[in-house]
A = this chain, B = another copy of it.
Amino acid sequence: MKLSLKEIAELIDGKIFGDENLIIKNISKIEESQNGDLTFLYLPAYEKYFPVTKASAILVKPGFNKTRKDISYIEVKNPNSAFFLIIEKYFKPTFNLKGIDNTAFVDTTAVLSENVSIGRNVVVSAGCRIGKNVKIFHNTVLLENVEIGDNSFLFSNVSVRENCKIGERVIVHSGTVIGSDGFGYEVDSFGVYHKIPQVGNVVIGDDVEIGSNVSIDRATIGSTIIKKGVKIDNLVQVAHNVVIGENTVLVAQCGVSGSTKVGNNCILAGQAGLVGHIELADKVIISAQSGYLNQLQNQGNTADHLYRNLKLLLE
């Protein structure tokens, strides 16, 4: 990367205070910056690093008190958004997986669109349909009749069970399992559990991202549904017959029990849990580690973190 501050300011529509010809060599976090770096300041907690950062330039909010004269500034309304725009434009990683590796297995009945890349030891079973520009990394396994939409991306060691459908521009990170059997049993009078066959599938909409080591179970009948734009963090559990609404966020290690329906634009924070067979309205926020047992049918409700409630009690 070798860009002038002027070029950067134009990209992000910012106003320079300092040397517009300054050459930026890299981007970095404020506490790790070196000479030649561009950084940004957004959260107040990081202001303590401003007096000591070695960055040569910094993105700040309009009106920032520019006490250091050895740094150039770009004022911009949202310094973090602007910074991410620079990352998107100049640093977006590319992956050089190309073609179908000769150690991969692609069943003769599978249909591959143009420009599909398949890594080593990948298994694409009978009846699979893979959209154009899809990349499937090494050692990932698709069982029968899996469908993957255009421009999607599966990293290494992913497992997708039979009949599951993945949309377009979906990203699935390593170690994730899509379509494992739902956890369903009938218990008899001796306390012995008998498995209920799980004959449904998982349907994942467009623009979904799924982190690493996530488990999404197939439906008992019908589909477990992850709608368009959902973002799922690492180690999340989604049980059978769950429906996650559009643009909802499931943060790391949270869990959604069977048949629960989460609305659109909700947030389940880290390690939160929902019981089964409930419905959440749109725009509900479940705080970190909260366990939620009841219906939440009003838009915009927040199920607050138990910890905070307790603190009030103790004070």
Task: Name A's B-contacting residues (CB within 8 A).
Answer: 27-29, 32, 43, 45, 81, 84, 87-88, 91-93, 96, 103, 105, 119-121, 123, 126, 137-139, 141, 143-144, 155-157, 159, 161-162, 171, 173-177, 180-181, 183-186, 191-193, 195-197, 199, 209, 211-215, 217, 220-222, 229, 231, 233-235, 237, 239, 241, 247, 249, 251-253, 255, 257, 264-265, 270-271, 273, 275, 277, 288-291, 293, 305-310, 313-314
User: A137: which of B141, B157, B213, B271 is its contact (CB, 8 Å)?
Assistant: B141
A91 to B195, CA, bound (A): 13
Contact in complex: B175, A177 (CB < 8 Å): yes
Contact in complex: B123, A241 (CB < 8 Å): no
11 A-B contacts (beta carbon < 8 Å)? A87-B199, A121-B139, A156-B159, A161-B174, A180-B211, A183-B233, A193-B231, A212-B215, A237-B252, A252-B257, A290-B307
Smallest CB-CB separation from A163: which chain B residue? B93
- Chain B contacts of A84 at CB under 8 A? 184, 186, 196-197
Contact in complex: A255, B253 (CB < 8 Å): yes
Contact in complex: B252, A255 (CB < 8 Å): yes
Contact in complex: A183, B88 (CB < 8 Å): no
Smallest CB-CB separation from A126: which chain B residue? B96
Min CB–CB distance A36 → chain B (angstroms): 14
3 closest pairs, A vs B, by CB? A159-B174, A215-B234, A177-B212
Contact in complex: A199, B93 (CB < 8 Å): yes
User: A123: which of B120, B186, B197, B251 is its contact (CB, 8 Å)?
Assistant: B120
- Chain B contacts of A265 at CB under 8 A? 191
A183 to B175, CA, bound (A): 16
Min CB–CB distance A69 → chain B (angstroms): 26
A50 to B120, CA, bound (A): 50
A221 to B162, CA, bound (A): 37
Known pairs A123-B156, A212-B215, A313-B313; list 4 more (Cβ under 8 Å). A91-B221, A141-B174, A191-B247, A193-B231
Task: State whether A241 and B199 are in contact (beta carbons under 8 Å apart), knowing that A185-B231, A231-B185 are contacts in the complex.
Answer: no
Contact in complex: A289, B288 (CB < 8 Å): no
Contact in complex: B197, A87 (CB < 8 Å): yes
- Chain B contacts of A177 at CB under 8 A? 157, 173-175, 212-213, 234
A192 to B231, CA, bound (A): 10
Min CB–CB distance A292 → chain B (angstroms): 8
